[in-house]
Structure 1
Amino acid sequence: MGRLFIFIYMLIVLTQVCGQPDSRFRPFDWVLYRGAGSITSITEGYTFAYIGTESGGLKRFNLFGNNFDEPITTAQGLKDNHITATHFDMQTGLIWVASPGHIQYSFSREGDWYANDLQTIGLSRYDRIKRIGSSSNFIWLQARSSFIKLDHSSGTLIGIYPSPDEISIQWSSGPYTGQSDLNEIFMNYSVMDGWILNGDDLIDRLGRRIPITTGFIGRHGNVFAGAEDGTVFYGTTTMETFSPLIPDIVNTDVTAIYDDGNTLWLGSQDFVSSKGISWMDPRSIESQVYSFEETINMTPSPIFSLYATDSELWAGGENILLVFDRKKDFWRTLGEERGAPPGKIWDLYGDPVHVWTGSSMGLRRIERSTRREDPIGIEYLFNQVPVYDIEGIEDKIWIGSRSGLFIFSEDNPQLRQGHDMGRKDFPEQMYRITAIQEFERVIYVVGDMGIAKFDLEEKVWDLIFTSGVYHEKTVYSLAVNKRYLFLGTEDGLVRVNKKTGFVKDYSFSFLGQGNEIVLEGKTLWLGTSNGLVKFKWKRDL
């Protein structure tokens, strides 16, 4: 009888597991960086403070290094990036996370998440866990009008109570409602970097009132507060001073990435939630945002493309271009009257004299020094024609558009179709060219026909893969190295072995649409509709 009980118990537990996207990967082989939204809950573990957020998963703040580490999100197996409550159980070392519809826990505190549906522990699907705590033997969940008692190592339901039947419960933070211990701290502490504490609110550098959403007093004098705008405030009882911190990035989606060699510049389609244009240091995860609301001459717009030099940053929006003078720290907006193309500016390419812009409505060329359009005479050929990608390769401009592939030579001004360059050994027409990349003097283009390559030495076109290889998905971005092609698609990432044609399709739900790819050795950065994704792709060879 005892063996039967153990078998049934293990069967139930094993069916609850919700680990990484695939058993081949370690917990942080995939990392999703995403704007926090409001801060909802804070708890303290052995090494990290775990910070629950409205949209960015569980942020981890290193208590010894005073810096943010890789976040825990749906990429590690969470059911949702909306965290309503979190708690670290000092007795067992387990981390607990509540999200709409689920309660989860992890032994490793990184991956291998076990999940319980809220309905299986006596709650309705509309209930929300507001706070989590623990006693010596049990986990307590505070819901809307009841307290749920669980076994602290298995998550098994023990009972549902109108109030806890234990006194010694260590609670992690829930919604801030003026609790006396926290209120005393907020009345007496000061805040750095131009912020002011004003009762139950914070006032930022621009005078905006930001409600405090949660607060937590940890061990060893650590004190945390979370704000509605996603800012985390960290202080100590010794200094009685809070410092504002931004966990990784503020972007909730990433449509554009530009790697300038030191930082990744990020642009988003949802410019309201994402607030502006950001940069992130990929080594330290430090970031900064140039907020539309805070920055003079920076017109709010979705950002679809980015291009940077040592002195400038250009951003393609909708009907406008934003230009940032990096040395003078000054922004300006260029509208259609200065030559910005109408429509969504899908791509930017810069040379020493000009910035080329490709939009959903055509092609334009802007002179960098005057910030005005410098027509070249071929614009009418792309009138009302979407231009998806522009690349400068040797002394020519390669243009990928809905109507095909075109090459413009500036030395001997003329526009030629792609198939007129050398010999083309396949009958398929090259239409709707969405991505162009050059690697070791071979140019790869992606379109309706599939993936074709052009050898600059031999002057020969070859169709290396039809679109059926990647299930005819729409391709938004392309990266190439010696062995592989990486495709950002409508539902994730596809990797194709150039020699064998073997395909790895990473269509994980946490990815979303793969808008932009940056490949840096063993690390691939993917801008997606769900945020910025880091993938250690060599783990899966």
Structure 2
Amino acid sequence: MFRFLLFFLFFTQLSQLIGQPDSRFRPFDWVLYRGAGSISSITEGFTFAYIGTEMGGLKRFNLYSNNFEEPITTAQGLKDNQVTATHFDLGTGLIWVASPHHVQYSFSREGDWYAKELQNLGLSRNDRINRIGSSTNYIWLQARSSYVKLDHSSGILVGIYPTPDELDIHWSSGQYVGQSNLHEIFMNYSAMDGWILNGDEFIDPLGRRVEITTGMIARHGNIFAGGGDGTFFHGTTTMETFFPLKLDISNTDVVGLFDDGNSLWIGSSDFVSSKGVSWINPQSNESFVYEFEGTINMNPTPVYSIHVSDGELWAGGKEIILVYDMKDDYWRTLGEERGVPSGVIWDVHGDSSYIWIASSVGLRRIERVTRRESPIGIENLFFNIPIYDIEGVDDDIWIGSRSGVFVFNQQNPQIRQAKDIGRKDFPELLNRITAIKEFERVVYVVCEMGIAKFDLKERVWELIFPSSIYHAKTVYSLTVNQKHIFLGTENGLVRINKKTGFTREYSFPFIGQVNAMNLDGKTLWLGSSQGLVKFKWKRDL
């Protein structure tokens, strides 16, 4: 009987371990960065302050270096990026996280998350965990009208109570509703960096009111507060001052992605939640957002494409282009009166003189100096034809459109079709082009039939992989290195070995649709419908 009970408990715990990352990877081989929304809960651990957010999972603030490290999200095994409450149990070292339908805990505080459905704990499907605390032997979950008592190491349900049957419970922060100990602090402390603390709310440098959603008096003189806009405030009892800190990027999805050598520039289709155009430093995780609301001459728009060169950033939106002069630090918005096409700008490519624009309604060229259209003479060939990608190769502009691949030579102005630039021995047509990428004098093209390549030296086309190798999924992005081809698809990532044709598919739900990619050595950055994803891809060779 005893052996059966041990087996039963072991099996039960294994069945709960369904939220852990794939066993091939370490917890932070995949990292998802996404906007926080409002801050719901804060708890303090041994090394980090853990910050529960409305949309961005669990953020981690290092208490010693005072910077943010990789967040814990669905990429590490959380059931949802919406965290309603979190708690660090100092007695066991476990971190607990509540989301709309689950409560989870982790021994490693990184991955290997054990999950329990709230309904299996006796709560209704509409109930919500607002706060989590711990006593010497138990974990307490504060729901809407009841308290759930769990064993602090196994998560086994002990009971449900109208009020706790213990007095000495250490609670992490929940919703701020004017608690007296916190209210006194907010009335007497000040804020830095242009912020004003106005009683139970902050006022940002633009004069916008920011609600205080949660607060916590922590150990070692630390005071933490969370704002409704996702700003995290760190204060100390010594200075009696709050410093505002941005958790990471504000983007909730990523469509435009560009690496300028120092930072990744990010644009989103959801420009309301994402607030503007952001950049993040891949080494330090430092980030900044140029907000539409707070930047002069920067009209709100979805941002589908970004190009940075010669000290300028060009961001393609819907019927407009945003231009940022990095040296003089100012923005401009160009519209149809300047020759910007009236559709969605899928891609932007720049050379020393011109900016080439690929849009849902055709092709345009803008002169850098005048910021006005400079007609090429071939625009009518692409009238109302979607162009999805543009790639500059030497003096040629490669154009990927729904009707095929075209190459325009700038020195000897003429446009040619794919079949006219070299030998093509396969009968399949190169049409419905969604991505083009040049690597080491070879141009790779993703079309309806699959992946083709053109050797610029030999002047020969070759259909290297049929679309069946990636199950004919829609490909939105492409990048290449010496041994592999990476495809961003409608529901994840596909890696193809050039030599063997061996494929590896990654269709984890936290990836979503991959709209853009940037390959930086051992790290692959994905701009996806779920946010910005960092993948240490060499872990899976």
- Give the SS at the match of 1:76: coil
1:226-271 Cα offsets, whole Å, 9 max, x none, are: 0000000001111111100011110000001110000000000000
- Give the SS at the match of 1:75: coil
Task: Write the distance in 2 (CA, Å) between the matches of 1:401 and 1:176.
Answer: 53
Other-structure match for 1:160: 160
Alignment of 1:300-311 (within 5 A): 300-311=300-311
Q: Is the contact between residue 495 and residue 505 of structure 1 (CA under 8 Å) also seen in structure 2?
A: yes
Task: Write the distance in 2 (CA, Å) between the matches of 1:62 and 1:419.
Answer: 57
- Is residue 333 of structure 1 aligned with residue 333 of structure 2? yes
Task: Write the distance in 2 (CA, Å) between the matches of 1:6 and 1:178.
Answer: 47
Task: Write the distance in 1 (CA, Å) between the matches of 2:100 and 2:425.
Answer: 55
Q: Is the contact between residue 18 and residue 78 of structure 1 (CA under 8 Å) also seen in structure 2?
A: no
- Give the SS at the match of 2:224: strand
1:407-436 Cα offsets, whole Å, 9 max, x none, are: 001111111001211100211100111111
Residue type of the alignment partner of 2:333: T
Task: Write the distance in 2 (CA, Å) between the matches of 1:390 and 1:536.
Answer: 27
Q: Is the contact between residue 95 and residue 107 of structure 2 (CA under 8 Å) also seen in structure 1?
A: yes
- Give the SS at the match of 2:303: coil
RMSD: 0.6
Other-structure match for 1:106: 106
Alignment of 1:72-221 (within 5 A): 72-221=72-221
- Give the SS at the match of 1:538: helix
Task: Write the distance in 1 (CA, Å) between the matches of 2:205 and 2:294.
Answer: 9
Other-structure match for 1:402: 402
Other-structure match for 2:533: 533
Other-structure match for 2:69: 69
Task: Write the distance in 1 (CA, Å) between the matches of 2:311 and 2:103.
Answer: 49
Residue type of the alignment partner of 2:72: I
- Give the SS at the match of 1:384: coil
Q: Is the contact between residue 89 and residue 95 of structure 2 (CA under 8 Å) also seen in structure 1?
A: yes
Other-structure match for 1:4: 4
Other-structure match for 1:257: 257
Residue type of the alignment partner of 1:294: G
Q: Is the contact between residue 235 and residue 243 of structure 1 (CA under 8 Å) also seen in structure 2?
A: yes
1:496-521 Cα offsets, whole Å, 9 max, x none, are: 00000000010110000000000000
Q: Is the contact between residue 20 and residue 26 of structure 1 (CA under 8 Å) also seen in structure 2?
A: no
- Is residue 270 of structure 1 aligned with residue 270 of structure 2? yes
1:86-121 Cα offsets, whole Å, 9 max, x none, are: 000001000000000100000000000000000111
Task: Write the distance in 2 (CA, Å) between the matches of 1:199 and 1:399.
Answer: 57
Task: Write the distance in 2 (CA, Å) between the matches of 1:310 and 1:349.
Answer: 12
Task: Write the distance in 2 (CA, Å) between the matches of 1:18 and 1:150.
Answer: 19
Other-structure match for 2:343: 343
Task: Write the distance in 1 (CA, Å) between the matches of 2:323 and 2:469.
Answer: 39
Residue type of the alignment partner of 1:327: K
Alignment of 1:371-410 (within 5 A): 371-410=371-410
Task: Write the distance in 1 (CA, Å) between the matches of 2:80 and 2:143.
Answer: 18
Task: Write the distance in 2 (CA, Å) between the matches of 1:73 and 1:443.
Answer: 36
Gaps of 5+ in 1: none
Q: Is the contact between residue 176 and residue 215 of structure 2 (CA under 8 Å) also seen in structure 1?
A: yes
| Identity level (%) | 71
Other-structure match for 2:479: 479
Other-structure match for 2:503: 503
Other-structure match for 1:243: 243
Task: Write the distance in 2 (CA, Å) between the matches of 1:347 and 1:301.
Answer: 15
1:129-157 Cα offsets, whole Å, 9 max, x none, are: 00000000000000000000000001000
Deviation, 1:310, is 4.4
- Give the SS at the match of 2:36: coil
Q: Is the contact between residue 423 and residue 459 of structure 2 (CA under 8 Å) also seen in structure 1?
A: yes
Residue type of the alignment partner of 1:203: I
Residue type of the alignment partner of 1:66: N
- Give the SS at the match of 1:219: coil
Gaps of 5+ in 2: none
Question: Which segments of structure 1 move beyond 4 Å, counting only runs of 4 or more?
Answer: none
- Give the SS at the match of 1:283: coil
Q: Is the contact between residue 21 and residue 111 of structure 2 (CA under 8 Å) also seen in structure 1?
A: no
